[in-house]
Amino acid sequence: MNIVTEHITIKNEVLTLTNQRAIYWDSQKALILSDVHIGKTAHFRRHGIPMPDDILQKDLERLQQLVTHFKAEQLLIVGDLFHAEFNIDMSTFKNWHSQFEDLQLVLIRGNHDSLSKRLMDDFNIRVETALVSEPFIFIHEHSAKYPETFTISGHTHPGVLIKGKGKQKLKLPCYQVASNQLILPAFSLFTGLNTKSKPDGAVCYAFTDSSIFKFE
Amino acid sequence: MSQFRDSDGLSIINNWMAEKGHAPFPFQLQTWQRYANGYSGMVIAPTGFGKTFSVFLAVVIDYLNEPKKYPTGLKLLWISPLRSLAKDLAKAMTEAVDDIGLDWSVQVRNGDTPTATRRKQERLMPDVLLTTPETMHLLFSQKKNSRWFKNIKCVAVDEWHELLGNKRGVLTELAISQLRHYAPKLRVWGITATIGNLEEAKSVLLPHRDLKVTQITAKQKKKLDIISVLPDEIEVLPWAGHLGAKMVDKILPIIASNTTTLIFTNTRGQAELWYQVLLNAQPDLAGLLAIHHGSIDKKLRNWIEDNIASGYLKAVVCTSSLDLGVDFKPVDCVIQIGSVKGIARFMQRAGRSGHSPFERSKIYFVPTHSLELVEVSALKEAIKDKQMESRDPMVLTIDVLVQFMVTLAVGEGFDAEELFKRVKSVYAFHYLTEDDWRWCLQFITKGGKTLSSYEEFHKVVLDDDGTYKVKSRRISMLHRMNIGAIVSEVNLKVKYFSGGYIGMIEEFFVSKLKPGESFILAGRVLELVQIKDMTVLVRRSKAKKAVSPSWLGGRLPLTSHLSHYLRLKLSDALEPGRLERELRFLNPLVSRQDSHSHIPKADEFLVELIETKDGHHLFMYPFEGRLVHEVFSALMAYRISKLKPLTFTIAMNDYGFELLSDQPIPISKENIEALLSKESLMDDVIASINASEMASRKFRDIAVIAGLVVQSQPGTRKNNKSLQSSSGLIFRVLEDYEPDNLLLRQAYTEVFNQQLEEARLQKAFERISNSKIIVKRAKSFTPLSFPLKVDSLRGTMSNENLDKRIQRIKEQAFKID
């Protein structure tokens, strides 16, 4: 796996965007990600739709390499860590987590995170609806409730559609960075792309397996 | 024999017909007799000759002669492809049994049937049930469904030519085998219009060796007048896809001089446009002109159909929604707008006018762009030669098979060994191997390749009694919602904010609209208020300008038969014969093509290279129809990009295709022959199919039919959001983790079988290698290339490094959407 990075500075804080769908915030030793949708493949299977679970394995391997690479002490997940009801994928995740001695998990509850508090405690996950960590507010879906503070969110699975000469079109996942907010791409590869919603004036950082491209 | 001729049943029917001033046609009499002698078979008759009464009355006569053979309950099952047909057929049949004095009940059951009626039918089935292939499978998914069918005597498949050739045909084949399982003595009858492969059509419907099979052909022929409507001068014809609104002045007098006119368009979008254009041109048509297509509310459609039948409407703008059906007696004129792309379809539409056996059919053809005039000329020639297209049956459709297996598991359950034998006897699965069968069983019970990764998957389980069953209610429910083989775009219901349903619209179109913007549906201008729960809420709009929706479906490719005639006619067009009105008219345009580039003669193949601000264009014109061009163009893109890594946008229509690149295309008189060579043709085709998006597109339908993608139901609150995914995503996942998944393989086979038509492609390359290849560089778009630029379906193919590609787009002053 090839981790490509690009540093951006927001409110005097340096954030490291990676081409692996997560941001590293060095001063907090935190890896920030969104929309992991663990349990999605098992949820599909339970409803009679066969999906291989290699998808989850691949997502978790990628996450493990990111944690090791940055020596992160904290995972800050801005929502939709889990896709649906409790299922076997969650245990896989719990096992995965146990390989780290002290990797803290903080989850900003997203619309898919419907697991009970007891289960979350059992997983050793701290759950918040929103988290203020100066100078940012972490929240699942950006909201106009915080006009003064810079929000970091996920939820929309942002992508960018670029058009070139000869009627070329390309769709890539991206980070969207505007004056008052940043939106993360979905971490899981088993998700779609939404190229329709883009905050006003946002800059898109799109990425491939080997590069990050800035589109203004 | 004489016994039947003297039977009471026959004389009752003969008397009844005589009272109405009719006598049976010879083919009807023949059908009745053969049925009485225990035959199954196929009736070949054009619409309007009483084909319904051939099979229907056969059962009635047999019943009248031997009522004791028929216990109470379902006697005749009538399967027809269109819901709208059922209602009118039921009416005609009910009238007949009432007149004869039979106490039979004739009922309809399909997606439009109210729940209360359905429950009633389940308690007591009518004597005759009219239904669709999908509804049959829904019935099989019910508990204890065999009790309804075990005394049934006959199943009739109406308009079989419409089902043959697509997956609904396979659903029908499977339904018949299931019915035969319940009622082994069942007689099976098909009714079809003339197609190119009648023998095959018969063996697909009736492959069962224990049946006595016969074929009955109506000798009656329909007289047909084809009249092209030509504009005053050739320039007024706008280019492809744009409606020839200026032709309105030519159409209005035709409507005025006939009793009732059906105006056929090829897409629902075009129907909406023409409705507006006609009303604007002659406002007093309001109330006398209606619009009819598949996305319009059922009630409105019924109203329109009733009013055509009663002669109240002067004209109806419609799509294939009115292709089939019972007689609309007042219709004496048909106008076809735009090319129909096929000989059989053209005949079918023409046949909607002058419906009764001895009248002439009259069809006016209104071109929407000039080249379509060549198509009419080709059509006339093909009809003169009595050439009809074949409908090729689909085989080994694994998606339909796994759906059927789950359907049975939801219903009464199935025994694997017995079902395998039965499925193998169905035409579509003749060549199903035991390995394939085991894979299907594995797929519905375990999910896929390895046991471990599918631990939670229990869609179908082997029950203690040895049958396979679905135990989960939720899975049963999800499956029932998904039964069928028609995969539509995601559709949203359109409703007035104040209440009142208008019709359906594709999500893809609505997603481009903002609240406050206006669009046209069912001939009304509507303003979008909001979208909620899969429903579009609108109010009436006063806006003068509104977009008319585009529906992705409904574009038909040119059939191979017609394309053959098209090639001939185009080279004729430079020196048209005295009687070829269309070609003479076209002459200025063809001459322009010839002076700016070239008109390919029958033994020539034209290649055009054009450079514009969009980039570098390469055009080729094989005239093989859109489906073959999709494969052909991918092949060319593949061969060229072996010379130099390039990204192509590919566009195709029925005449040819375009490869567009931002970089110069390395093609010249020197290497063109190698590029078009028939050497290693199939290897390159396979490689190019793998590199293109064709299989992924085919997988879209397969994923839905096999239940991998859950379709959301329009207008419902419960849209199973947590189970949403796209077929594209699943296609990639399976490519990565389960490359030997049979459904994935099916996607590739479908490209091969349906589009490629290996023999046809081989022949095309054979022809090209014997042709003189003409390479022309033109300064601007030519008459042949222009339609490709403005209106065509597009795809992409690239073998460039992705990063490099993005970098270059960035430098080309990219646009973000």
Last residue of a domain, one of B322, B353, B384: B384
Do residue B347 and residue B321 come from a single domain?
yes
pLDDT in tens, B405-420: 999 999 999 999 999 9
Q: Is residue B302 part of a domain?
A: yes
pLDDT tier, B484 (very low <50, low <70, confident <90, very high otherwise): confident
Q: Considering only CB atoms, which chain A residues are within 8 Å of B648?
A: 166
Q: Considering only CB atoms, which chain B residues are within 8 Å of A206?
A: 806
Nearest 5°: the CA angle B564, B568, B571 is 140
Q: Is residue B562 part of a domain?
A: no
Tell me whether residues B722 and A204 touch, CB distance under 8 A.
no
Q: Hey, what amino acid is at B328?
A: F
Alpha helices per DSSP H over B192-297 = 198-205, 248-256, 268-281
* Dist. CA B78–CA B195, nearest whole Å: 21
In this structure, what token pair is assigned to residue B530?
């909001």
Q: Hey, what amino acid is at B516?
A: G
Residue B237: pLDDT over 70: no
- Helix-strand-coil percent breakdown of chain B, rounded to 5? 45, 20, 40
Torsion of CA B613, B616, B620, B621, to 10 degrees: 0
Helix B268-281 and helix B248-256, axial crossing angle in degrees, nearest 10 = 80
Question: How many domains would you assign to chain B?
Answer: 5
Residue of A nearest to B809 (CA): A164
Question: Residue B331: which domain range?
Answer: 223-384
Q: Is residue B566 part of a domain?
A: no
Do residue B108 and residue B9 come from a single domain?
yes
Q: Is residue B176 part of a domain?
A: yes
Tell me whether residues B456 and A192 touch, CB distance under 8 A.
no
Question: Beta-strand (E) ranges in A22-84?
Answer: 23-25, 30-33, 74-77
Residue of A nearest to B723 (CA): A44
User: What pLDDT shows up at residue B94?
Assistant: 95
Do residue B78 and residue B124 come from a single domain?
yes
Question: Which one of B453, B511, B658, B801 makes the best mutation probe of the A interface by having the most chain A beta carbons within 10 Å?
Answer: B453
pLDDT in tens, B737-796: 888 899 999 998 888 877 767 777 888 889 888 999 999 998 888 888 887 876 655 677
User: What pLDDT shows up at residue B556?
Assistant: 58
Do residue B501 and residue B624 come from a single domain?
no
Nearest Cα neighbor of B133 from B414, B467, B484, B433 is: B484
Q: What is the mean pLDDT of chain B?
A: 85
pLDDT tier, A31 (very low <50, low <70, confident <90, very high otherwise): very high
Residue B308: pLDDT over 80: yes
* Dist. CA B646–CA B627, nearest whole Å: 23
Q: Considering only CB atoms, which chain B residues are within 8 Å of A213?
A: 806-807, 810
Residue of B nearest to A47 (CA): B475
Place of tokens 């005949």: B347
* Dist. CA B598–CA B574, nearest whole Å: 11
- Specify which residues B43 forms β-bridges with: B191, B216
Q: What are phi and psi of A75, to 5 degrees?
A: -110, 120
User: What pLDDT shows up at residue B608?
Assistant: 94
pLDDT in tens, A1-16: 899 999 999 999 999 9
pLDDT in tens, A137-187: 999 998 888 888 999 999 999 999 988 888 888 899 999 999 999 999 999
Do residue B404 and residue B314 come from a single domain?
no
Residue B267: pLDDT over 90: no
SS3 per-residue string spanning B231-257:
CCCHHHCCCCCCCCHHHHHHHHHHHHC
Do residue B202 and residue B333 come from a single domain?
no
Residues 6+ apart with CB under 8 A from A36: A59, A63, A77, A80, A81, A82, A187, A188
Question: Is the CA virtual torsion A36, A37, A40, A43 positive or negative?
Answer: positive
Residue of A nearest to B460 (CA): A48
User: What pLDDT shows up at residue B240?
Assistant: 44
Q: Which residue has the higher pLDDT, B580 or A125?
A: A125
- CA B276, distance to chain mean position in Å, is 26
Residue B241: pLDDT over 50: no
Nearest Cα neighbor of B77 from B69, B66, B68, B89 is: B89
Question: Which one of A44, A55, A168 makes the best mutation probe of the B interface by having the most chain B beta carbons within 10 Å?
Answer: A168
Do residue B444 and residue B496 come from a single domain?
no
Tell me whether residues B723 and A170 touch, CB distance under 8 A.
no
Tell me whether residues B662 and A169 touch, CB distance under 8 A.
no
Q: Is residue A117 less than 8 Å (CB to CB) from chain B?
A: no
pLDDT tier, B144 (very low <50, low <70, confident <90, very high otherwise): very high
Q: CA of B391, closest CA in chain A: separation in Å?
A: 33
Do residue B212 and residue B227 come from a single domain?
no
- Specify which residues B797 forms β-bridges with: B648
Q: What is the mean pLDDT of chain A?
A: 91
Q: Considering only CB atoms, which chain A residues are within 8 Å of B660?
A: 166-167
Nearest Cα neighbor of B545 from B506, B581, B569, B517 is: B517
> Which of A54, A166, A170 lies nearest to residue B453, judging by beta carbons?
A54
The CATH number covering residue B417 comes to 1.10.10
Residues 6+ apart with CB under 8 A from B33: B1, B4
Helix (H) or strand (E) holding B228: strand B223-228
- Helix-strand-coil percent breakdown of chain A, rounded to 5? 20, 35, 45
Do residue B104 and residue B239 come from a single domain?
no
Q: Which of residues 44-103 of A touch B (CB under 8 A)?
A: 44-55, 83-84, 87-88
Alpha helices per DSSP H over B623-781 = 626-643, 672-675, 681-691, 694-705, 727-737, 742-750, 758-769
Torsion of CA B681, B683, B686, B688, to 10 degrees: -70
User: What pLDDT shows up at residue A207?
Assistant: 96
- Specify which residues B501 forms β-bridges with: B495
* Dist. CA B16–CA B65, nearest whole Å: 16
Q: Considering only CB atoms, which chain B residues are within 8 Å of A215?
A: 810, 814, 816
pLDDT in tens, B645-665: 888 888 888 888 999 998 999
Strand A203-207 with A168-177, pairing: antiparallel
Residue B162: pLDDT over 70: yes
Place of tokens 């406002």: B283
pLDDT tier, B552 (very low <50, low <70, confident <90, very high otherwise): very low
* Dist. CA B285–CA B281, nearest whole Å: 9
Burial B324-343 (b: 16+ CB within 10 A, else e): bbbebebbbbbbbbbbbbbb
Helix (H, G, I), strand (E, B) or coil at B504: strand
pLDDT tier, B100 (very low <50, low <70, confident <90, very high otherwise): very high
Helix (H, G, I), strand (E, B) or coil at B315: strand
DSSP B423-481: HHTSGGGTT--HHHHHHHHHHHHT-SS-SGGGTT--SSEE-TTS-EE---HHHHHHHHH
Task: Please indicate, yes or no, whether the overall pTM of this predicted structure exceeds 0.90.
Answer: no
Do residue B470 and residue B521 come from a single domain?
no
Tell me whether residues B475 and A50 touch, CB distance under 8 A.
no
In this structure, what token pair is assigned to residue B422?
């039965």
- Return the percentage of chain B with pLDDT > 70, whole number: 90
Q: Considering only CB atoms, which chain B residues are within 8 Å of A46?
A: 456-457
Q: Is residue B392 part of a domain?
A: no
Residue B718: pLDDT over 60: no
> Which of B446, B453, B808 lies nearest to residue A53, judging by beta carbons?
B453
Nearest Cα neighbor of B642 from B607, B693, B677 is: B677
Do residue B302 and residue B378 come from a single domain?
yes
pLDDT tier, B319 (very low <50, low <70, confident <90, very high otherwise): confident
Tell me whether residues B809 and A165 touch, CB distance under 8 A.
yes
> Which of A112, A165, A172 lies nearest to residue B615, judging by beta carbons?
A165
Nearest 5°: the CA angle B715, B720, B725 is 110
Q: CA of A46, closest CA in chain B: separation in Å?
A: 5
Contact predicate B268/B296, CB 8 Å: no
Helix (H, G, I), strand (E, B) or coil at B334: strand
Tell me whether residues A211 and B812 touch, CB distance under 8 A.
no
* Dist. CA A7–CA A17, nearest whole Å: 6
Q: Considering only CB atoms, which chain B residues are within 8 Å of A177?
A: none
> Which of B448, B455, B663 lies nearest to residue A88, judging by beta carbons?
B455
Residue B626: pLDDT over 50: yes
* Dist. CA B327–CA B22, nearest whole Å: 16
pLDDT in tens, B278-302: 888 899 988 899 988 877 887 888 8
- Return the percentage of chain A with pLDDT > 70, whole number: 100
pLDDT tier, B465 (very low <50, low <70, confident <90, very high otherwise): very high
pLDDT in tens, B54-99: 999 999 999 999 999 999 999 999 999 877 778 888 998 999 999 9
Q: Considering only CB atoms, which chain A residues are within 8 Å of B802?
A: 208-209
Q: Average pLDDT for residues A127-135, to the nearest whole number?
A: 92
* Dist. CA B12–CA B94, nearest whole Å: 16
Residue B814: pLDDT over 70: no
Contact predicate B638/B687, CB 8 Å: yes
Helix (H) or strand (E) holding A16: strand A13-18
- Taking residue B147's Cβ as centre, other Cβ atoms within 10 Å add up to 13
Q: CA of A134, closest CA in chain B: separation in Å?
A: 32
User: What pLDDT shows up at residue B349?
Assistant: 84
Q: Average pLDDT for residues B218-235, to the nearest whole number?
A: 79
> Which of B449, B456, B662 lies nearest to residue A168, judging by beta carbons?
B662
Q: Considering only CB atoms, which chain A residues are within 8 Å of B616?
A: 166
Residue B511: pLDDT over 80: no
Classify domain A5-157+177-188 at the CATH topology level.
Purple Acid Phosphatase; chain A, domain 2 (3.60.21)
Q: Is residue B590 part of a domain?
A: no
Tell me whether residues B722 and A112 touch, CB distance under 8 A.
yes
Residue of B nearest to A214 (CA): B810
- Return the percentage of chain A with pLDDT > 90, whole number: 62
Q: Is residue B569 part of a domain?
A: no
Q: CA of B472, closest CA in chain A: separation in Å?
A: 9
> Which of B406, B456, B729 lies nearest to residue A190, judging by beta carbons?
B729
Query: Burial level of B101, CB count in 10 A (0-12/13-18/19+)?
Result: exposed
Nearest Cα neighbor of B725 from A173, A41, A85 is: A41
Last residue of a domain, one of B353, B384, B415: B384
User: What pLDDT shows up at residue B553?
Assistant: 44
Q: Average pLDDT for residues B433-456, to the nearest whole number?
A: 80
> Which of A50, A88, A165 lies nearest to residue B812, judging by beta carbons?
A165
Residue B238: pLDDT over 50: no
Contact predicate B405/B444, CB 8 Å: yes
Tell me whether residues B733 and A190 touch, CB distance under 8 A.
yes
Residue B730: pLDDT over 80: yes
pLDDT in tens, B169-211: 999 999 999 999 999 999 999 999 888 899 999 999 999 989 9
Tell me whether residues B707 and A48 touch, CB distance under 8 A.
yes
Q: Average pLDDT for residues B346-364, to the nearest whole number?
A: 79
Query: Number of A:B CB contacts under 8 A?
Result: 135
Tell me whether residues A211 and B738 touch, CB distance under 8 A.
no
Do residue B415 and residue B509 come from a single domain?
no
Q: Average pLDDT for residues B255-271, to the nearest whole number?
A: 87
In this structure, what token pair is assigned to residue B810?
């960035």
DSSP B517-584: -EEEETTEEEEEEEEETTEEEEEE---S--BPP--SS---PPPHHHHHHHHHHHHHTTS--TT-HHHH
> Which of B726, B738, B796 lies nearest to residue A192, judging by beta carbons?
B726
Nearest Cα neighbor of B136 from B104, B116, B109 is: B109
Question: Which one of B470, B478, B722 makes the best mutation probe of the A interface by having the most chain A beta carbons within 10 Å?
Answer: B722
Torsion of CA A186, A192, A195, A201, to 10 degrees: -10
Place of tokens 């190229």: A195
Tell me whether residues A50 and B443 touch, CB distance under 8 A.
yes
Contact predicate A16/A9, CB 8 Å: no
Residue of A nearest to B817 (CA): A161
Q: Considering only CB atoms, which chain A residues are within 8 Å of B478?
A: 47-48
Residue B490: pLDDT over 70: no
Residues 6+ apart with CB under 8 A from B450: none
Contact predicate B613/B660, CB 8 Å: no
User: What pLDDT shows up at residue B558?
Assistant: 67
